[in-house]
Structure 1
Amino acid sequence: MEFNLSQLSNATPHRITVIGGGAGGLELAVCLGKKLGKKGKATITLVDAARTHLWKPLLHQVAAGTMDSHVDEIEYLALARDYHFRFRLGRMDGLNREKKEVYLAPTYDEDGQEILPRQAIGYDTLVIAIGSQTNDFGTPGVRERSIMLDSPDAAERFHQRLINSCLRAQARPRPNGEHFTVTIIGGGATGVELSAELHMTAKAISSYGLANFDPEKDIRIVIVEASPRLLNVLPERLSNAVTHELHGLHIETHTNERVTEVTQEGVKMASGKFIPSDIVVWAAGIKVPDFMKNLDGLETNRINQLVVQRTLQTTRDSSVFAMGDCAACPRDDGKSTVPPRAQSAHQEAKMLAKSFVRMLEGKPLLEFTYRDRGSLVSLGDYSAVGSLMGSIARGSVFIEGTIAKWMYWTLHKQHQITVNGLFHTILGTLAETIDLTRPRIKLH
């Protein structure tokens, strides 16, 4: 579907509004600010419900306490000033395509006092990049009795419960043979990486003088996965290597097990198994927020993703684009859609930034082609494994150990460079390296 060039006005700068400041949305706003906002060719507005940005693949580290979220957070307002775009605080809950307006719900503080009233933001071109949230598949008890690790707030909540439980164990030792059990539902990258970080955190906590706390005896970490193996969407060799590493850390894995209920006491499975659990983390599957299901007539799929063409334009409105986890974009073969991964959002942001420059020059939009660069899974300080694809070799190259850990680290740095620039990223990395006052894990 071609963009209607008559929508562009020479009288005022073209208004590009980006909803969602995740990996893709923020990178897009920064790129557009530098390419168009700085030159006055367009007005770029970024909207997000939070005031700061945290790279989502780091949430398992925040939950385990191996990363302090406040250290790595990026202020949207500061970035907006430096990179020539505007930031608006708010959560999208509606759209009027005829008026070309996005509606934002009122914003409240922790005491329930209104900070911002309901807002309407106009646009000429709209990009929806709100990401995804955890899908509970309607399983009883999940919403009430588990933590869904899909936001910094949820990760912080999990960390607080973990620390409190360890302090409780110090004051009141458990009966001999009784474990403090963390059950992780979902054997994808989030669940696997969280389990390894938790094992590392437990060992570190015990070194701070918790007399009645032995991580090897007192903590039990369990992963439950409905598929036949962990990391089911990744190559089998990678999955087997990760499973071997986890078993070496005494982390239990239960595959081919479908959870039927989360109760106050633990996790029930269809096979009849029951795992007594103190903390349950639900990391199985994703969906887009429900309000997207009926977003002013735009086409969506069963998990509420907006259906888009390869230009990333929605099928029913050429001025509304979608990218990242909330978009169902066809791949080249037309038989599948682009997977909801950080590398997908990064690639889409780069393409859209080029496309919008072309659009304002009256040229056709680009079409998106997904390039699978492989997968990397971090197991904390213990190891990392992955498969690299693309320019390195035909097919894939399996890596593990120090090389994989280094490459996993560089993924985060590449995101920081895109957003903050090379100079600021180098300075920030040096500051992290020489900061000797911070404990190995966050203890509060």
Structure 2
Amino acid sequence: MWAWFIFWWPVRPPAVPKQQFIEEFLDVVSKEQQQRVVVVGGGVAGLEIATTLGRRWRRQRGRAPGNSTITLIDRDFAHVWKPMLHTIAAGTTDISQQQTPYIAQARDAGFAYQPGELSGLDRARQEVLIAPLHAPDGRLLVPERRLAYDTLIIAVGSHANDFGTPGVVDHCRMIDSRQQAKAFNHELRIRMLQCQAQEGELSIAIVGGGATGVELAAELVQLVAASVAYGAQGLAERIKIILIESGPRLLAAFPQDISAATRARLEALGIRVMTDTRVSAATADSFVLSNGQQVEASLKVWAAGVKAPDFLAHLDGLETTRGNQLVILPSLRTTLDPNIYAVGDCASLTLPGAERPLPPTAQVAHQQARHLIRYLPGAMQRGEAIPDFVYRDFGSLVSLGDYDAYGSLGQFGMFKGVTIRGRLAQLSHVMLYRSHQAMLYGFWRGSLLWLVDRLNAHVRASIRLN
């Protein structure tokens, strides 16, 4: 193109002024060099990537010849940090204070937002298909769309795995998204009101002894205690909370001492903990166990297992696992398409020398997001190779609401293998969320949000009452 420009300029001068012509020509060159990045999924990894690259490229716009754009696609309209969903489900956290609307974040960070769910992929044309949006009454709001990309990043997360257990889909609730957490909390408050007004009993059973199930059980105890403090006398005696785990202990990914301490603390709070107990079916009013016994439960939560969304298994031939995760290389690229990356829970990466893939945790998603943020621009603009992703295990934390917290410092750093509990573990759990907020809003704005949360803790109700 530049050779054509040099040849044409002396022979045929432009009719417009020379400076204007040069600016228009450079604008054409800039558009031809433009890179279109599409991020599917606004969870921890997806939103951090869109936010950081959006801000960076907005600052560079007008100074660099190659303008790059970034578009985020998500079926929801707001982001909530996934490890906080159990507190929203229990009503011990105000969702309106903790959610980040994608439209507002897109304006502040310099990326575009497209509402909708990924429904297909055309790798030959480098286009994603976005499913149509419908109103609750069935009206079509936005028709099906196609969106072109040069680089595609899939970060659609994961959800609980029912393993085909009969009745789970029809009779159980899951806490995998903002909308599911809101819906569960709405139903929970209705059941608690009925329980209090009719002096009946409410039994809540949770299947899954991982972090989600354990933390939700503790938050429910905290909810009941706060409700009693607000005048619901006798409610604590009429609500039963049951936690069911198929394995031999809770929190299988944690050290043994944390698992034992967590179980003891939950049982001290009045929660019935059942381990080595496999659920074979769910009915309208109970869980049926593999030995034929039934655990009565009027409100049932399924928090066991993890799998990626089903549509990934049919995404234009990309390689997937049995759990629908996209198989990726250490560079975070998918195995069959160098223009498509996958990060977070929906990606399966087995690092060299490792026996198992990386766990589907927020920690892994955050580190993979940081890796792409650092190296993707160089790969897009200068063709640089993305180095292999290196995972650092900083440990795991589990919070039992206001009652306790436990943590393992993992296998990285000078305190590797050390376990912590109490206030130090609770502070560490809080700092994970605050660092995520700082990623999204910047240090100062994130700090102000923390201050606002602390002030609200003293002036607003401790649970959702409306």
TM-score (norm: length of structure 1): 0.94
The answer for the alignment partner of 2:203 in structure 1 is: 181
CA contact (8 A) 1:129 1:325 kept: yes
Contact 2:79/2:178 (8 A) holds in 1: no
- CA distance in 2 between counterparts of 1:37 and 1:116 reads 28
In structure 1, the partner of 2:87 is: 61
What is the CA–CA distance in structure 2 between the aligned matches of 1:391 and 1:121, rounded to whole Å? 41
Q: What is the 5 A alignment of 1:8-23?
A: 11-23=32-44
Q: Which residue of 1 aligns with 2:465?
A: 443
**2:248 match: secondary structure:** coil
Q: Is the 8 A contact 2:279 2:290 kept in 1?
A: yes
Structure 1 segment 80-99 matched on structure 2, within 5 A: 80-99=106-125
Which of the residues 396, 403, 419 maps onto 1:382?
403
In 2: Cα distance, 1:272 partner to 1:9 partner = 68
2:231 maps to 209
**Is 1:44 paired with 2:75?**
no
Q: Could you give the per-residue CA deviations for residues 241-298 of structure 1, whole angstroms, max 9, x where no partner exists?
A: 1111111111111111110011112011112331110100000011111111111010
Instruction: Return the offset for 1:235.
Output: 1.4
Alpha-carbon distance in 1 for matches of 2:99, 2:359: 26
- Most deviating of 330-339 and 53-62: 330-339
One-letter amino acid of the structure 2 residue matched with residue 347 of structure 1:
Q
How far apart are the structure 2 equivalents of 1:396 and 1:270? 36
Q: Is the 8 A contact 2:247 2:276 kept in 1?
A: yes
Q: Deviations over 1:378-426 (max 9, x none)?
A: 0000010011135542531110001001110111000000111111111
Report Cα offsets for 1:82-121 as digits up to 9, x if no partner: 2121111110010000000000100112222222110101
| 1:30 aligns to 2:51 (yes or no) | yes
Name the amino acid aligned to 1:141. G
Corresponding letter in the other structure for 1:161: E
Amino acid at match of 2:226: A
Aligned-residue offset at 1:9: 8.9
Q: 1:284 aligns with which of 293, 299, 304?
A: 304
CA distance in 1, matches of 2:415, 2:80: 34
Of residues 246, 267, 273, the one that matches 1:226 is 246
Maintained 8 Å contact 2:40/2:74: yes
Matched residue, 1:265: 285
Residue 196 of structure 2 contacts residue 235 of structure 2 at CA under 8 Å; is this kept in 1? no
Match of 2:344 among 301, 324, 329: 324
Give a deviation string over 1:8-27, Cα, whole Å, max 9, x none.
99723111110000000000
CA contact (8 A) 1:37 1:44 kept: no
Contact 1:38/1:83 (<8 A) preserved: no
What per-residue deviation string (whole Å, max 9, x for no partner) do you get for residues 333-374 of structure 1?
A: 142211100000000000001121221223211211111110
Q: 1:152 aligns with which of 178, 193, 196?
A: 178
Which SS does the other structure have where 1:253 is aligned? strand
Question: 2:419 — aligned with what?
Answer: 398
Q: Contact 1:307–1:314 at 8 Å: present in 2 too? A: yes
Q: Give the one of 133, 136, 141 matched to 2:159.
A: 133
**What is the distance in 1 between the residues matched to 2:81 and 2:260?**
27
Distance 2:357 2:30 in 1: 34
| Most deviating of 74-83 and 368-377 | 74-83
1:192 and 2:214 matched: yes
Q: Is the 8 A contact 1:15 1:124 kept in 2?
A: yes
Query: Is the Cα–Cα contact under 8 Å of residues 38 and 84 in structure 1 kept in the other structure?
Result: no
Contact 1:36 1:357 in 2 (8 A): no
Q: Which deviates the most, 249-258 or 162-171?
A: 162-171
User: Secondary structure of the residue that 2:312 maps to in structure 1?
Assistant: helix
Q: State the alpha-carbon separation in 1 of the partners of residues 313 and 437 from structure 2.
A: 33
State how far apart, in whole Å, the 2-side matches of 1:110 and 1:413 are.
34
Residue identity matched to 2:205: T
Describe the SS at the equivalent of 1:44.
strand
Q: Are 1:305 and 2:331 an aligned pair?
A: no
| Counterpart residue type for residue 289 of structure 1 | P
Aligned pair partner of 1:239 in 252, 259, 283: 259
User: Deviations for 1:184-242, whole angstroms, at most 9, x for unmatched residues?
Assistant: 0000000000000000100111222234x331x11111110111100112211111111
The CA RMSD over aligned residues, in Å, is 1.5
Higher relative contact order (CA 8 A, sep 6+): 1
- SS of corresponding position for 1:133: coil
Show structure 1 runs of 5+ residues with no match. Answer: 1-7
CA deviation after TM superposition for structure 1 residue 437, in Å: 4.1
Letter in 2 for 1:105: A
Match of 2:268 among 238, 248, 271: 248
Quote the residue 1:142 is aligned against: 168
- Structure 2 residue 101 is the aligned partner of structure 1 residue 75: yes
Tell me the matched-pair count. 431
Aligned partner letter, 1:185: V
Question: What is the CA–CA distance in structure 1 between the aligned matches of 2:54 and 2:103, rounded to whole Å?
Answer: 13
Identity %: 40
Supply the distance in 2 between the matched residues of 1:262 and 1:278 (Cα, whole angstroms): 11
Choose 422-431 or 342-351, whichever is displaced more.
Answer: 422-431
Aligned to 2:431: 410
SS in 2 for 1:386: strand
How far, CA to CA, are the matches of 2:241 and 2:413 in structure 1? Answer: 36
Distance 1:166 1:111 in 2: 29
With the length of structure 2 as denominator, give the TM-score of the two structures.
Answer: 0.90
* Deviation, structure 1 residue 162: 1.6
Contact conserved, 2:407 with 2:425, CA < 8 A, in 1? yes
Structure 1 counterpart SS, 2:182: helix
1:344 matched residue in structure 2: 364
Aligned to 1:4: none
TM-fit CA distance, 1:33: 1.2
